[in-house]
Amino acid sequence: MESIIQRLDIRRQLIALTFPIFIETLLIMLAGFVDVFMLSRVSDSAVAAVGLANQVLMLVYMVFMIGVMGVTVVCSQYIGAKDEHGFVKTISAAVAYNIFVGIVTGIFFTFFTPELIVFLDTRAELVDNATVYFEIAGGFSILVCMNMTYSGIMRSCNLARYPMYVSVVANILNIFGNYVLIFGKFGFPELGVQGAAISTVFSRVVACSLLFYAIKRQKVRDSIFRNMFPFPMDKLRKIMKIGLPGAGEMFSYSLSQTVIVYLVNKLGTEALAARTYLVNIITFIFLFSLSLGQASAIIVGQLAGRKRKDAALKLGSFSLKIAVSVSVALSFCLALAGGRVMPLLTDNANIIALCLTILWIDVVLEVGRAVNILGGRMLSAVGNPEFAFVVGVIVMWGVATLGAYVFGLYLGYGLVGMWICFAADECLRAVFIWRHWASQKWAKKSLIHAD
């Protein structure tokens, strides 16, 4: 009876943590969707330019995820082990790492965007808009870095409601800023893509300030910056142990998607705009899996810190089944509703028809994606991120990227052929991830026992 009660308590904790993460992630994704929706009133080329820029920026943000994923997992295990000193030192190491990385990336986009535009072989009609978005949003990318870090820390402490509140404020500011600066309201100039970038940066400044205040007030009373000296290199190594392979898989995925965007660009502006619309819509489907995956990873990490790996296995398997069920249901509903959704975004009949076909293919893709999101996060949480990294690199490049070229360009099946390859990639990786989790080989791993 006691074990049943404990299991129910853990599941209630999972639900309580998932909800604010879901709302926060929804609002973050909604901000990107609002940018696309408002820019679609300017032109399809503006949407395509921002889509191209954001794909590259997402690749850069994967470098930030090394510190974010690492600090979330390591802090979760220290909380489970009730080690306050290790917890604070881990935060200090993560903040120092991400400040450095954020400054370097900001300098890169400020001074080397023209070279990047040439390297991407950007279509002529997209160059001006892509350049201005890179320079503004990319130049201030340190804000993304710090927001991700602070949010991860709060979540690991079971305080996910605070990042959720901050996201509400940031989203409202972003929507209002877009309206004013994109379309030139209240006496401001009509800036288009430049206005969207400025609004995004301003909302991120506010979010960063509020998250730092929340951490200091609610959890870390000691100075984060003072605990950087002497620098806690042992904590940084733990962060890297989790973050490098965990974020490495995400980096490989984003790099693969960047190559795919390059290939889609060869199909024409309509195909690139269609992909941008699809990515922004479909993101809302796997939003639940992302939220549940983050919540599950935090609780699984805490259970691992308390040496309760049997409980971690049961919770993980429960979460995987829920994520798959919800993802399939949502993707099927979106495919049915596609005829009503797409005309809200564009009046281009070719883009609409292309998107409607791909939405049905995506129903299959989301099955695999849900398993990969949940499984990868939880394997990282128990100290075994290497498996998902190796499988991810091999399959996503061998099936998704190579397949996109062969079926999309060489054989001439276009974006539809590419999406079929994406679905095959996700589902094949899911088979390996699910089997590895069920095998419990990860149970031999450990992370904080050496402290």
Tens of pLDDT, residues 267-278: 888 888 888 888
Residue type, 102: G
- CA–CA distance, 31 with 278 (Å, rounded to integer): 16
How many Cα neighbours within 13 Å face the side chain of 209? 8
For 186-207, how does the pLDDT look when each residue is reduced to its tens digit (9 = 90+)? 888 888 889 989 999 999 999 9
Residue 221: pLDDT band with limits 50, 70, 90: low
Contact in structure between 416 and 274 (CB atoms under 8 Å): no
User: Pick from 373, 379, 390: which is nearest to 447 by CA?
Assistant: 379
What is the pLDDT at residue 44? 78
Q: How far is CA 202 from the centre of its chain?
A: 20
Contacts of 170 (CB under 8 A, 6+ apart): 27, 31, 203, 204, 206, 207
Residue type, 25: T
Residue 448: pLDDT band with limits 50, 70, 90: low
Contact in structure between 133 and 169 (CB atoms under 8 Å): no
Contacts of 83 (CB under 8 A, 6+ apart): 448, 451
For the question of whether the overall pTM of this predicted structure is more than 0.75, the answer is no
Residue owning tokens 């040439």: 118
With both helix axes pointing from N to C terminus, report the angle between 233-267 and 349-381 in degrees, rounded to the nearest 10.
Answer: 160
Q: Is the pLDDT of residue 248 over 90?
A: no
What is the pLDDT at residue 35? 77
How many angstroms separate the Cα of 149 from the Cα of each of 83, 92, 361? 20, 11, 35
Structure tokens, 4: 């049943």
Range scoring the smallest mean pLDDT among 242-246, 413-417, 429-433: 242-246
Return phi, psi of residue 252, to 5°.
Answer: -60, -40
For 295-325, how does the pLDDT look when each residue is reduced to its tens digit (9 = 90+)? 888 888 788 777 777 777 888 888 888 888 9
What is the pLDDT at residue 359? 93
Residue 446: pLDDT band with limits 50, 70, 90: low
260 burial (CB, 10 Å; 0-12 / 13-18 / 19+) is: buried
122: left (phi over 0), alpha (psi -120 to 50) or beta: beta
What is the pLDDT at residue 166? 92
What is the pLDDT at residue 292? 87
Contact in structure between 180 and 188 (CB atoms under 8 Å): yes
What is the pLDDT at residue 396? 92
Q: Is the pLDDT of residue 239 over 80?
A: yes
- CA–CA distance, 355 with 288 (Å, rounded to integer): 22
Please report, in angstroms and rounded to a whole number, the separation of the first and last CA atoms in the chain.
34
How many angstroms separate the Cα of 357 from the Cα of each of 107, 224, 375? 41, 51, 29
